Structure 1
């Protein structure tokens, strides 16, 4: 073991003393800022199909170089926006 790994362990918070049934908190993902081209492409896809399946969303995410969850949440939010209008 290197000295570096020992230092890392010293600064790691101990989560072993949490009460049973309480999981450690996950870190929130950083907000994704979409550029104009990505927004336009997502809008075009939404006009074509407002409820793409998992495979279609994965294809869209791959084409736009985005995470699948970002695309999924964008479509969900866009449907909510449409419902409010």
Structure 2
């Protein structure tokens, strides 16, 4: 594992615990977990917002298409009426 033996990892872990203490390490772990959770929530909320906006655009386009078709039908009927 990158040239680091398990014994070296244990020594590094002991030094970190001695420097920071277990309480500080627990707090740092909790803070890191909260940060990751918040990041995941923000990403999922952003995806939901993007999907919602896309759905709104599709609905708006459908309504616009229906209005355009109705206007075209009305124009054609008006044109036929005038030509008769």
TM-score by length of 2: 0.24
- Greater RCO structure (CA 8 Å; 6+ sep): 1
TM-score (structure 1 length as normaliser)? 0.24
